[in-house]
Amino acid sequence: MTEASTAIRLNPFKGCDGPEGTPVPWSPHGRILSERPNFTLDPLFHAGCYYVQDSSAMYVGHIFRKIVIPSEAKEPLRVLDLCAAPGGKTTDLAASLREALGNAFELTANEVIKSRAGVLVGNVAAWGDPNILVTSVDPAIIGRGMKGYYDVIVADVPCSGEGMFRKDPRAVEEWTPQLPGICAARQKRILADSWPALKEGGILIYSTCTYEDCENDANLEWAARELGGDIIPPENEFAEYGVELTRCGNLLRAGTVPGEGQWVGALRKTSQTPSGKCKVADLRPLDCALQLFDGPEPRVELDLQQSLKYLHGDTFSLPDAPLGMLVVCYRSHPLGFVKNIGSRCNNLYPKGRRIRMDV
């Protein structure tokens, strides 16, 4: 088996080229890199100019664009990324929605595990799209409270992880013969709990990073049969790149495609759901402190070393800059805020996102 590849996906709204690479066939902004650079030491990574994401994981975004954008592009489009951390699929969905619909969409990124939700908040903040709301609630709460609210639910559910064996030794250590069955039952619960939040006629995009039929095709068939939906017949326009066609979706195998393992399928909801009275704000979105920097604060350009010191949380001085609040930038891309008091700048970069390695 070949070694795991490294891929990135550019942020089309930051106007940055990022590291060079070969195109990902199913992602308009994806690139496969020839080697893995030290992303921690690239300020453009921290500025949200690109996201490090496995190329196979980008296939979910391809299915979303293929199925949702042509048929559901109306105002506003409400999308729920149900198991969103660490944020790769969320930022991919956000870019696709903004390119197709402008500002006419709502994207809720939910992660029930609080520690993972913190990582999601940081990545969404760096990406910088104001139409993303991050929440951390159980799928059952969303299902009960947001009945019929969403046009699309993307569920990249926790799975037995066989598609990550090449990249993640822990996935190998944790696997047991009983694990796929346990995961399949958990996935059914997640789908059933969140199902009321999807409107009648809405689309579910369901994905895993395993090869197990009981977690993939069989579970989507179960959802169609028991919850009420029509499976959207899969196509395979990327067979030449190693993508496989299954009963209900597409399978990407590590070693056959450039990236790791991924399975994706979709269905359209046919069962009825009464409309609820809740709004997305009722889910108590987490605060992202988005890196938009559209305010009147002066901007100051930093060089590479200054940028790394800032991202590390160090104190430094900008003797030629105006006093007060400043936006510091690297290659014109905002990194965050400082307060210049003359003798030094108070570093306001969030502590939880600071570089920990020596710079």
Q: Catalytic site residues?
A: 209
DSSP letters of 121-169?
A: HHHHHHHT-TTEEEE---HHHHHHHSTT-EEEEEEE-----GGGTTT-H
Are 80 and 94 within 8 A, CB to CB? no
Are 164 and 208 within 8 A, CB to CB? no
Pick left, alpha or beta for residue 208 (phi over 0 → left; psi -120 to 50 → alpha; otherwise beta): beta
**Amino acid at the residue 213:** D
The phi and psi torsions of 123 (rounded to 5 degrees) equal -70, -35
Are 340 and 322 within 8 A, CB to CB? yes
What's the Cα-to-Cα distance from 353 to each of 12, 292, 301, rounded to whole Å? 23, 16, 20
Task: State whether residue 342 is helix, strand or coil.
Answer: coil
What is the C-alpha to C-alpha distance for residues 246 and 63, in angstroms, rounded to an integer?
14
Task: State whether residue 351 is helix, strand or coil.
Answer: helix
Residue listed under structure tokens 């992880």? 161
Are 27 and 56 within 8 A, CB to CB? no
What is the C-alpha to C-alpha distance for residues 287 and 276, in angstroms, rounded to an integer?
25
Are 201 and 150 within 8 A, CB to CB? no
